[in-house]
Amino acid sequence: MDLPPVGLGTMAIENHETITTAIDLGYRHLDTAQIYDNEGVVGNAIAASGVDREVLTVATKVWADSLSTDDIVSTTETSMDQLGVDRVDLLYIHRPIDTYDPQETLAAFDRLYKSGTIGGVGLSNFTVDQLEVAQRELSAPIAAHQVEFHPFWWSADLLEHAQTSEYPLVAYSPLAGGTVQESETIVDIAAAHETTPEAVTLAWLLSKPTVVTIPKASTRQHLEANLQARAVTLTDDECRRIDEIDRTLELYPE
């Protein structure tokens, strides 16, 4: 799936005007999830924006307790009602745990894809082994794989798999809950570019082939800043320095 370099993560956003502002600024990839309990907020934002629905990529995720065939179908219908759409552009398996069964779950996603109910099958928080099982079971291609990915927690193996298989790796929590401001390495590089640690972090992510990202932002200023980070270009040495930061801070373990 062809995804914009910077989209909007909407977890914990409760005001649809924030998302409408993002759309007005040029965001075209909106990411939510059933467990966020804000699909209706995203739907209201889409309706209020006046932007042509066809230019938006609307993504949501089926939670781990709803991965049987019947639950996938019923919860997806509920998601579409909440979002106000007749198709989910990108539907993820949120985590391959609890009721996840590769054969049953992936077959149900395949049927939704073939029927046109969803535009792409997404996976989230999978291991390489789980991705390879999914590739064998799915008829549809993997449209995207979404994982926690920031300077303090990322997987070279998952990145390599995405690049080899040619699907986008969607980086969530890219700013590590704001802790990128505490990294001496990132702060030093930001000073050299006369920009912010957040902009440097997003530029580092986008320097990696196949990686796109969905930072959350709640103010117009931060929404604009995240888009402007696309203009920051880091040197190979600066990217290497960020690559070498210790990866010990996982914000969302299973």
pLDDT band of 34, cuts 50, 70, 90: very high
Give the pLDDT of residue 64: 98
In the chain, pLDDT over 70 holds for what percent of residues? 100
- pLDDT digits 0-9 by tens, 154-191: 999 999 999 999 999 999 999 999 999 999 999 999 99
Determine the average pLDDT of the residues in 93-97.
Answer: 98
pLDDT, residue 171, reads 98
Give the domain ranges of the chain.
8-181+211-219
Work out the pLDDT band at 254, boundaries 50, 70, 90. confident
Q: What is the pLDDT of residue 76?
A: 98
pLDDT average, residue stretch 93-118:
98
pLDDT score of 61: 99
Cβ within 8 Å of residue 127, ≥6 positions away: 158
Per DSSP, the three-state class of 118 is: strand
Average pLDDT, the chain: 98
Q: Is the pLDDT of residue 74 over 90?
A: yes
Question: What pLDDT score was predicted for residue 191?
Answer: 98
pLDDT of 136 higher than 90 = yes
Taking the domain 8-181+211-219, which CATH number applies?
3.20.20.100
Catalytic residues, which ones? Answer: 36
pLDDT per position as a tens digit, 183-239: 999 999 999 999 999 999 999 999 999 999 999 999 999 999 999 999 999 999 999
Is the alpha carbon torsion for 17, 21, 22, 27 positive or negative? positive
Residues 6+ apart with CB under 8 A from 126: 93, 96, 134, 145, 147
Residue type, 48: A
Instruction: Judge whether residue 36 has pLDDT over 90.
Output: yes
Q: Residue 148 in 3-state DSSP?
A: strand
Residue 35 confidence (pLDDT) above 90 = yes
In sequence order, the 6+-apart residues with CB closer than 8 A to the CB of 70 are none
CB atoms within 10 A of CB 1: 19
What is the sign of the dihedral through the CA atoms of 237, 238, 240 and 241?
positive
